[in-house]
Amino acid sequence: MRILVTGAAGQVGAEVVAELERRSEGMVKGPGLDVIAADRSRLDVSDRDEVLAAVTALEPDVVVHPAAWTAVDACEDDPDRAFAVNALGTRNVAEAARIVRAHVAYVSTDYVFDGTSIRPYNEWDAPHPLSVYGASKLGGERELDPSATVVRTSWICGRTGPNMAKTVLRLAAASSGPLRFVDDQHGSPTIASDLAAKLVELALARRQGVFHVTNAGATTWYGFAREVLAAAGWDPGRVEPIPTSDLAPPRRAPRPEHSVLDNAALRLSGGELLPPWQESLAQLVAALTR
Ligand SMILES: NC(=O)c1ccc[n+]([C@@H]2O[C@H](COP(=O)([O-])OP(=O)(O)OC[C@H]3O[C@@H](n4cnc5c(N)ncnc54)[C@H](OP(=O)(O)O)[C@@H]3O)[C@@H](O)[C@H]2O)c1
């Protein structure tokens, strides 16, 4: 089975490639895998000709598609780029995959929701993005055939690339003063390696439809920062809660207040859920501070 991974140098892309390599080395039982890791320099998803040429030449069985422009605030200032990469780029991937009959597994986001729900969002709740980024990712979802896998996730932290766990560790090491994080945005932190394992499982099984996939449990960025410090053996009491309105400078893109995702499709179909976020975060922090 040949698998093409877009955005392969990103947080999720790198872990997807690592998970596929683990499987192809026989560490996980399954078919032999031929993994093609395409970072942006090798495959720019916003370039239709390039995508069609690459996919028809490579003839993958499955395309795992985490490539995206993920700079949420920058997307507000350049909606054309956001839609060119996240929405039209996904149209290009979907079109090319259709030609070679490859299965597509797309990674989407909790930011497709407005965060006004008082309960976690399930896969059948109506999206209503607040930001350009969220709208462009929803646009990507709408480019896919119903047979595609769509994995919506949230608050990703992994070994590769910048993320909030690394930011907390960096700020904590840089000064002994208080660290301020917002306590009025609620979500589920998700560790990239856990997400990648489930994403690969769903993609290889050609599971159809939308799946919410996050680590279990929810918190605020304040609670998250405290947990990062505790996992690193530092004093979580250094973290102080602030409202989003106190962020300086203010963020350009509005964030959903409550974007906890109910992993309902997995849960109701008897699928194994991801472990609690604190457990996986502790392992990530150990790896980052080793
Ligand atoms: N991070 C989160 O908290 C979060 C939450 C929910 C959902 N998601 C979704 O999860 C997926 C993976 O996110 P991530 O955290 O791994 O983001 P990431 O680290 O920014 O990875 C995205 C990758 O896509 C690449 N890319 C950007 N434009 C591209 C283009 N035109 N063609 C091909 N590749 C391109 C980027 O390359 P360059 O770095 O060279 O631009 C980057 O390597 C995305 O679809 C994102 O929307 C992320």
Q: Report the CATH number that the domain containing residue 40 is assigned in CATH.
A: 3.40.50.720
Q: Can you give the pLDDT at residue 32?
A: 80
With pLDDT > 70 as the criterion, what percentage of the chain qualifies? Answer: 98
Q: Is 121 a catalytic residue?
A: no
More confident site: 76 or 28: 76
pLDDT value at 133 more than 70: yes
26 band by pLDDT with thresholds 50, 70 and 90: confident
Mean pLDDT of the chain: 96
Q: What gap in Å lies between CA 60 and CA 3, rounded to an integer? A: 5
Q: What gap in Å lies between CA 110 and CA 175, rounded to an integer? A: 32
Please state the pTM of the whole predicted model.
0.97
Name the nearest CA neighbour of 190 among 229, 226, 164, 222: 164
25 band by pLDDT with thresholds 50, 70 and 90: confident
Assess if residue 287 is contained within a domain: no
Please state, as a whole number, how many other Cβ atoms lie within 10 Å of the Cβ of residue 184: 16
- Ligand 1 center–CA 166 separation, angstroms: 17
Q: Can you give the pLDDT at residue 27?
A: 61
Assess if residue 194 is contained within a domain: yes
Assess if residue 179 is contained within a domain: no
Any atom of ligand 1 within 6 Å of the Cβ of 155: yes
The pick from 39, 40, 50 for probing ligand 1's pocket by mutation, whose C-beta has the most ligand atoms within 8 angstroms, reads 40
24 band by pLDDT with thresholds 50, 70 and 90: confident
Residues 6+ apart with CB under 8 A from 71: 133
pLDDT value at 28 more than 90: no
Assess if residue 284 is contained within a domain: no
Average pLDDT rounded to a whole number, residues 205-215: 98
pLDDT value at 240 more than 90: yes
3-state secondary structure of 36: strand
- Ligand 1 center–CA 161 separation, angstroms: 10
Average pLDDT rounded to a whole number, residues 244-273: 96
Assess if residue 123 is contained within a domain: yes
Assess if residue 251 is contained within a domain: no
Total number of domains constituting the chain: 1
Backbone angles phi and psi of 213, in degrees to 5:
-130, 105
The predicted-structure confidence for 150-164, as pLDDT tens digits, reads as follows 999 999 999 998 999
Q: Can you give the pLDDT at residue 29?
A: 62
Q: Mean pLDDT: which of 23-27, 139-143, 245-249 is highest?
A: 139-143
Amino acid at residue number 85? V
Average pLDDT rounded to a whole number, residues 12-16: 98
Q: Which of 106, 111, 133, 222 is catalytic?
A: 133
Range of the domain at 139: 2-162+190-217+260-276
Assess if residue 64 is contained within a domain: yes
Assess if residue 40 is contained within a domain: yes
pLDDT value at 281 more than 70: yes
Label residue 27 exposed, middle or buried (CB < 10 Å: 0-12, 13-18, 19+). Answer: exposed
